[in-house]
């Protein structure tokens, strides 16, 4: 049986996380980390047993693995080991969040899915039915938004639960705001 704070089932907070576009795996992106830290400091606070965090990491198939290969010709075995490698990298990313929760004694789950992040996040919300979804946002201006699109905007419109969008702090912004 799960622990609670005596106020019914823990509040299930799904947090969508991704890797840093600058440093790659296993580093979380600045916006994922902001979202996680906000959740801990502003929602969970001292009430460790009142919340359960659900970390979802979506891997984008297009970005899978070719970066560290010399040729795009590869045997089926190569593909298999590549897939394994990516899975392991994704797990290392999730480890960052899961370890923090374990240190604090906060109940959590974490998993990886492949696909278009915005679509997958919304379909996982439908499946898992969290009480709320927390997504980080790069806080792009309208011009950058047109070309990059934002996962957070899509989720606010389409996710089947309350959504909190956490913007990156201005002082944590990399040179190109599209990064990370």
| Residue from 26, 27, 37, 38 binding a second copy (CB under 8 A) | 38
Among 43, 74, 91, 173, binds a second copy (CB under 8 A): 43
Contact between 116 and 86 under an 8 Å Cβ cutoff? The reply is no
Strands, E, within 11-98: which ranges? Answer: 11-17, 19-20, 24-28, 51-59
Q: Which residue from 7, 87, 99, 104 is in contact with a second copy, where contact means CB under 8 A?
A: 7
167 binds a second copy (CB under 8 A): yes
* CA pair distance 20, 87, nearest whole angstrom: 16
Residue 162: phi and psi, rounded to 5, are: -55, 140
Q: Is 56 exposed, middle or buried (0-12, 13-18, 19+ CB in 10 A)?
A: buried
Minimum CB–partner distance for residue 156 and a second copy (Å): 6
**Interface with a second copy (CB under 8 A), residue from 1, 2, 8, 141:** 8
Among 97, 125, 165, 168, binds a second copy (CB under 8 A): 165
Nearer to a second copy, 41 or 75 (CB): 41
Strands (E) in the chain, as ranges, are 11-17, 19-20, 24-28, 51-59, 107-114, 132-137, 163-167
Q: Which of 116, 132, 158, 177 binds a second copy (CB under 8 A)?
A: 132
Q: Does 37 bind a second copy (CB under 8 A)?
A: no
Residues that bind a second copy (CB under 8 A): 5-8, 11, 38, 41-43, 45-47, 50, 131-132, 156, 162-167
């Amino acid at each position: 049986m799960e622990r609670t704070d005596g106020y019914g089932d823990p509040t299930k907070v799904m947090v969508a996380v991704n890797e840093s576009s600058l440093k790659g795996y296993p580093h979380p992106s600045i916006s994922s980390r902001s979202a996680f830290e906000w959740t801990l400091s502003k929602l969970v606070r001292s009430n460790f047993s009142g919340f359960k965090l659900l970390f979802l990491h979506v891997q984008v198939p297009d970005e899978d693995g070719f970066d560290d290969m010399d040729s795009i010709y590869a045997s089926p075995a190569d593909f298999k080991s590549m897939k394994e490698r990516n899975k392991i990298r994704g797990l290392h990313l999730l480890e960052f969040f899961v370890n923090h929760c374990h240190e604090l004694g906060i109940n959590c789950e974490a998993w990886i899915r492949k696909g278009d992040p915005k679509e997958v996040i919304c379909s996982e919300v439908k499946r898992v039915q969290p009480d709320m979804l927390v997504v980080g946002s790069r806080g792009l201006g309208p011009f950058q938004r047109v070309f990059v699109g934002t996962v957070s905007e899509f989720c606010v419109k389409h996710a089947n639960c309350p959504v909190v969008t956490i913007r990156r702090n201005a002082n944590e912004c990399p040179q190109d705001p599209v990064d990370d």
